[in-house]
Chains A and B, each alone.
Chain A
């Protein structure tokens, strides 16, 4: 079967079985390995991507459900030469350590910041509750997301 959708603003078409995991389509068919596999059963969130504005575990999404949709992955966050505000905040606060949860964490955070609701410590923790990190204790991740939210509110600072 053939499926057409948009990844990071680019139209793509893949010829694969409909039940192939979006995770494998991204990593292997579209050569976008930034999205990681941590458990393959929707527990760790390492494979999180944004699908039509909502965070999903791409290991649980068959590609047939993505036909016609828009997918954002970590590869779409940065501009050509510079990190996004969220990535910069992670770099500055120490929100990434081993880095394997980072792409999924960034997508969950980006969806939360883009949702347009008030960002608080609690709301951040709720937004990333499906993304496991074993390195940081989450402290610096929460700080990073709060910092990015603050800078979006007052871009001058």
Chain B
């Protein structure tokens, strides 16, 4: 069941004011029907080609030899004399022509650890092998001997002395704020790793060119990240490093940065062998080696007055970056910027650090630092509501941001603020107040012999749309709309389809501007030799930022064709193409009006706009086993103007279930810095039977800075699902769970007062040798 609500007053719901040709805003245009998923038929019939479905005759199979120590000096890589190596290719760090670095933010992560170099985690790549068939490859893997000298390892981010990044924000006077407070509430919250668990494992195939260049086909979110990594480390020209996205079976952030490493590996092997090389991870390797959501420890100290005003928030965020920087500084800054929650507070101080540990690097996952901190702040707000004897719904009504409020970076929220709208929409759709009254009565009447308890919980969240701060200005994305000389209209961008719907909504946006049908618009393949660099497919930026670029490009294309032909675009574009040939309009990102951010002081407009979300969860808790069943979740999400309701609901429903998994069952246990549950039999995600009934409520508060009013929706629902579930557990059993996931062990410990299990994300030491 889904429903749509349109929020906002007349001024914010009005069409955005954008300088555009009059014809583009002509009134009375027929709103085109919502198209079906563009690549749906190919996916439903099995003809869509994912990486492992691509056939390259004569291709070899590649594999990665990894460390089995969390921290060590690599002494030697020995190839067994007894094995026939004539049919096997071996690549070591010595074969890398350029810098031995995976290009991203910091130049710290090697493509392969060189002999004599430092191994910093258990899954670190040391060398590569390839063979013509899988059985030879498997045999060869067993005949590579790694010799390493173990070094002391650090697994606890709080004990680590190696800081990857830090980020602080604040406004007001925190000491004055606490001086005004009648009540100070403190809490510490911990969250562990979470695996993206796209169902298609990571996969890359590299095809060598005679001139030393390479074409890489693979499963990825960001073809240009890979393109740049290949150019730099293989010393290739722009034309020699071609990256083509294959159909991609889910990403969720997990295919943002790690594919660059696999592509480099595949390309190194392909150049060595002179044949295409397939690097297709199996699930075990994917789970063992690739990035996860950052574990975090979040401490809150909050000052409130007895009449329920929020006067001081002091927040300390520590994230575990793992062994290398990857995207950690950006994850941390998003975490810090969202840590205080969507609440008006005059005195705020947030301090954040990412610390290095000898565990595999953590990276991007839907929400990108926000789900960790929003869990913490929502738990904190619930505790305060309890301390003040105010309903958690009512307290949020009072504190939630309205237009004109100021965030911790000093950003004035001038427009597109829907915190109260999503709160009320979710409360109404879930009948929160009525159910909360029922569960309260049931809790008070519960006898000691009761075996189950039911609860309802609520969480409010926000998510900055697009890149943080000046990110968009720095990358200067370019996207284009083209009318080919054969009269075909196509969109050129590097934005990848990975299930979220890019390939469907881009033609919709362009068709609406051109006054034609969506199926008249094609999407060029995500091939770096064809499309411009419109930036990565991350940060919920595709619909808002790149969608805005192609809308503007389409407006200019239409204006030009109409000014020459004197007829409408729809009537004239085919003839125009025949007479005048190809016409391509490129649009480069220009800053949104009145959006300014100071990177030195970390003040100003941290995001051009925010999306707003509220989730209400209903749970049953088994009082004997501590098992939590999430029965129902309503998620009300404002992502600005909704382009495609079915796809948008799909984002909300899917993101909500990932949050429910995060809240209840998804946990990675570590020993000696290695993931212990590194198979699908042991890392569990919700099945159709585990999944609650999900209800998406789409609230539309358009962003006037974007020509089509859209904000991002991909990450929003991920921020609020988990705290809503844990709030519901508290409503059911009356005790607080401070760590995620709220596994049966943690729930039972909270119920009985027994010591809680090991903190999430924290590795146990290596078992002593010889111990039973």
| Residues in chain A within 8 A of chain B (CB atoms) | 27, 32-41, 43-44, 46, 73-75, 77-78, 83, 87, 90-94, 96-103, 106, 124-126, 128-142
In the complex, residue of chain A having the shortest beta-carbon distance to the beta carbon of B282: A40
Instruction: Give the CA-CA distance A101 to B49 in the complex, in Å.
Output: 13
Which of A44, A98, A142 has the most CB atoms of chain B within a 10 A radius of its CB? A98
Does any Cβ of A come within 8 Å of B649's Cβ? Answer: yes
1/0 per residue, CB under 8 A from A, across B625-665: the answer is 00000000000000000000011011001111110000000
| Residues A100 and B200 in contact, CB atoms below 8 Å apart | yes
Instruction: Give the CA-CA distance A35 to B47 in the complex, in Å.
Output: 10
Does any Cβ of A come within 8 Å of B550's Cβ? Answer: no
Q: Which of B38-46, B61-69, B87-95, B514-522 is the contact stretch?
A: B38-46
Q: In the complex where A100-B200, A137-B656 touch, is A83 in contact with B44 (Cβ < 8 A)?
A: yes
Query: Distance in Å from the Cβ of B44 to the closest Cβ of chain A?
Result: 4
List, in ascending order, chain A residues with CB within 8 A of B52's CB: 33, 36-37
| Residues B691 and A138 in contact, CB atoms below 8 Å apart | yes
Q: In the complex where A98-B199, A101-B199 touch, is A137 in contact with B694 (Cβ < 8 A)?
A: yes
| Residues A94 and B53 in contact, CB atoms below 8 Å apart | no
| Interface residues of chain A: helix, strand, loop or mixed (majority) | loop
Number of A-B contacts (CB under 8 A): 165
List, in ascending order, chain B residues with CB within 8 A of A92's CB: 36
List, in ascending order, chain A residues with CB within 8 A of B37's CB: 91, 94, 96
Instruction: Give the CA-CA distance A11 to B499 in the complex, in Å.
Output: 35
Does any Cβ of A come within 8 Å of B763's Cβ? Answer: no
Contact of B41 among A27, A91, A103, A140 (CB under 8 A): A91
Q: In the complex where A92-B36, A100-B200 touch, is A134 in contact with B46 (Cβ < 8 A)?
A: no
List, in ascending order, chain B residues with CB within 8 A of A128's CB: 688
Contact of B654 among A83, A126, A134 (CB under 8 A): A134
Q: Which of B242-250, B319-327, B373-381, B420-428 is the contact stretch?
A: B242-250
Contact of B46 among A35, A44, A126 (CB under 8 A): A35
Instruction: Give the CA-CA distance A55 to B641 in the complex, in Å.
Output: 42
Instruction: Give the CA-CA distance A57 to B644 in the complex, in Å.
Output: 34
Instruction: Give the CA-CA distance A96 to B40 in the complex, in Å.
Output: 7
In the complex, residue of chain B having the shortest beta-carbon distance to the beta carbon of A82: B41
| Residues A46 and B650 in contact, CB atoms below 8 Å apart | no
Query: Distance in Å from the Cβ of B366 to the closest Cβ of chain A?
Result: 10
List, in ascending order, chain B residues with CB within 8 A of A87's CB: 41, 44-45
Query: Distance in Å from the Cβ of B146 to the closest Cβ of chain A?
Result: 25
Does any Cβ of A come within 8 Å of B681's Cβ? Answer: yes
Q: In the complex where A33-B53, A97-B654 touch, is A139 in contact with B694 (Cβ < 8 A)?
A: yes
Q: A41-B283, A73-B46, A125-B691 are in contact. List 19 more A-B contacts (CB 8 A).
A: A33-B53, A36-B249, A38-B199, A75-B45, A75-B46, A77-B45, A83-B41, A90-B40, A91-B40, A91-B44, A92-B36, A96-B44, A97-B250, A98-B499, A99-B249, A134-B685, A136-B654, A137-B650, A139-B693
| Residues in chain B within 8 A of chain A (CB atoms) | 36-37, 39-50, 52-53, 196-201, 247-252, 282-283, 498-501, 646-647, 649-650, 653-658, 679-681, 685, 687-689, 691, 693-694
What are 7 inter-chain pairs, A to B, with CB distance below 8 A?
Answer: A33-B53, A87-B44, A99-B43, A100-B198, A132-B685, A134-B654, A136-B653
Query: Distance in Å from the Cβ of B357 to the closest Cβ of chain A?
Result: 27
List, in ascending order, chain B residues with CB within 8 A of A136's CB: 650, 653-654, 657
List, in ascending order, chain A residues with CB within 8 A of B650's CB: 94, 97, 135-137, 140
| Residues B657 and A137 in contact, CB atoms below 8 Å apart | yes
Contact of B250 among A75, A83, A98, A142 (CB under 8 A): A98
List, in ascending order, chain B residues with CB within 8 A of A129's CB: 687-689
| Residues B199 and A34 in contact, CB atoms below 8 Å apart | no
Q: In the complex where A46-B199, A96-B37 touch, is A34 in contact with B45 (Cβ < 8 A)?
A: yes
| Residues B250 and A38 in contact, CB atoms below 8 Å apart | no
| Residues A74 and B46 in contact, CB atoms below 8 Å apart | yes
Instruction: Give the CA-CA distance A55 to B730 in the complex, in Å.
Output: 40
List, in ascending order, chain A residues with CB within 8 A of B47's CB: 34
Instruction: Give the CA-CA distance A41 to B286 in the complex, in Å.
Output: 14
List, in ascending order, chain B residues with CB within 8 A of A132's CB: 197, 199, 680, 685, 687
In the complex, residue of chain A having the shortest beta-carbon distance to the beta carbon of B54: A33
Q: In the complex where A41-B283, A99-B247, A136-B654 touch, is A74 in contact with B45 (Cβ < 8 A)?
A: yes
In the complex, residue of chain A having the shortest beta-carbon distance to the beta carbon of B36: A91
Instruction: Give the CA-CA distance A99 to B200 in the complex, in Å.
Output: 9
List, in ascending order, chain B residues with CB within 8 A of A46's CB: 199
Instruction: Give the CA-CA distance A99 to B197 in the complex, in Å.
Output: 14
| Residues A134 and B658 in contact, CB atoms below 8 Å apart | yes
| Residues B46 and A41 in contact, CB atoms below 8 Å apart | no
| Residues B283 and A39 in contact, CB atoms below 8 Å apart | yes
Instruction: Give the CA-CA distance A139 to B652 in the complex, in Å.
Output: 11
In the complex, residue of chain B having the shortest beta-carbon distance to the beta carbon of A108: B688
List, in ascending order, chain A residues with CB within 8 A of B201's CB: 37-38
| Residues B249 and A100 in contact, CB atoms below 8 Å apart | yes
| Residues A133 and B649 in contact, CB atoms below 8 Å apart | no
Instruction: Give the CA-CA distance A96 to B498 in the complex, in Å.
Output: 11
| Interface residues of chain B: helix, strand, loop or mixed (majority) | loop
Instruction: Return the 9 tightest CB-CB contacts between A and B, nearest first.
Output: A34-B46, A100-B249, A98-B499, A99-B43, A97-B499, A137-B653, A137-B657, A43-B680, A74-B46
Instruction: Give the CA-CA distance A132 to B199 in the complex, in Å.
Output: 8
Instruction: Give the CA-CA distance A94 to B652 in the complex, in Å.
Output: 13
List, in ascending order, chain A residues with CB within 8 A of B681's CB: 41, 43
| Residues B688 and A125 in contact, CB atoms below 8 Å apart | yes
List, in ascending order, chain B residues with CB within 8 A of A32's CB: 46
Query: Distance in Å from the Cβ of A139 to the closest Cβ of chain B?
Result: 5
Which of B49, B201, B250, B685 has the most CB atoms of chain A within a 10 A radius of its CB? B250
Contact of B680 among A41, A90, A98 (CB under 8 A): A41
| Residues A40 and B250 in contact, CB atoms below 8 Å apart | no
Instruction: Give the CA-CA distance A85 to B484 in the complex, in Å.
Output: 36
Instruction: Give the CA-CA distance A55 to B746 in the complex, in Å.
Output: 36
Instruction: Give the CA-CA distance A2 to B716 in the complex, in Å.
Output: 54
| Residues B283 and A134 in contact, CB atoms below 8 Å apart | no
Instruction: Give the CA-CA distance A35 to B248 in the complex, in Å.
Output: 15
Q: In the complex where A43-B680, A126-B689 touch, is A98 in contact with B45 (Cβ < 8 A)?
A: no
List, in ascending order, chain B residues with CB within 8 A of A37's CB: 52, 201
Instruction: Give the CA-CA distance A133 to B499 in the complex, in Å.
Output: 11
| Residues A90 and B283 in contact, CB atoms below 8 Å apart | no
List, in ascending order, chain A residues with CB within 8 A of B500's CB: 97
In the complex, residue of chain B having the shortest beta-carbon distance to the beta carbon of A93: B646
Contact of B647 among A39, A94, A98, A125 (CB under 8 A): A94
In the complex, residue of chain A having the shortest beta-carbon distance to the beta carbon of B39: A99
List, in ascending order, chain A residues with CB within 8 A of B657's CB: 136-138
In the complex, residue of chain B having the shortest beta-carbon distance to the beta carbon of A131: B688
Query: Distance in Å from the Cβ of B634 to the closest Cβ of chain A?
Result: 12
List, in ascending order, chain B residues with CB within 8 A of A137's CB: 650, 653-657, 691, 694
Query: Distance in Å from the Cβ of B604 to the closest Cβ of chain A?
Result: 35
Which of A40, A73, A139, A141 has the most CB atoms of chain B within a 10 A radius of its CB? A139
Instruction: Give the CA-CA distance A140 to B650 in the complex, in Å.
Output: 8
List, in ascending order, chain B residues with CB within 8 A of A99's CB: 39-40, 42-44, 48, 247, 249, 499
List, in ascending order, chain A residues with CB within 8 A of B247's CB: 99
| Residues A94 and B649 in contact, CB atoms below 8 Å apart | yes
Instruction: Give the CA-CA distance A128 to B501 in the complex, in Å.
Output: 24
Contact of B688 among A74, A77, A91, A141 (CB under 8 A): A141
List, in ascending order, chain A residues with CB within 8 A of B251's CB: 98
List, in ascending order, chain B residues with CB within 8 A of A27's CB: 53
List, in ascending order, chain B residues with CB within 8 A of A101's CB: 199, 249
| Residues A98 and B689 in contact, CB atoms below 8 Å apart | no
Which of B53, B249, B501 has the most CB atoms of chain A within a 10 A radius of its CB? B249
Contact of A134 among B40, B44, B53, B252 (CB under 8 A): B252
Contact of A135 among B41, B42, B250, B679 (CB under 8 A): B250
| Residues B283 and A40 in contact, CB atoms below 8 Å apart | yes
Q: In the complex where A93-B646, A99-B499 touch, is A36 in contact with B200 (Cβ < 8 A)?
A: yes
List, in ascending order, chain B residues with CB within 8 A of A102's CB: 43-44
Instruction: Give the CA-CA distance A106 to B42 in the complex, in Å.
Output: 13
Query: Distance in Å from the Cβ of B499 to the closest Cβ of chain A?
Result: 3
Instruction: Give the CA-CA distance A82 to B144 in the complex, in Å.
Output: 52
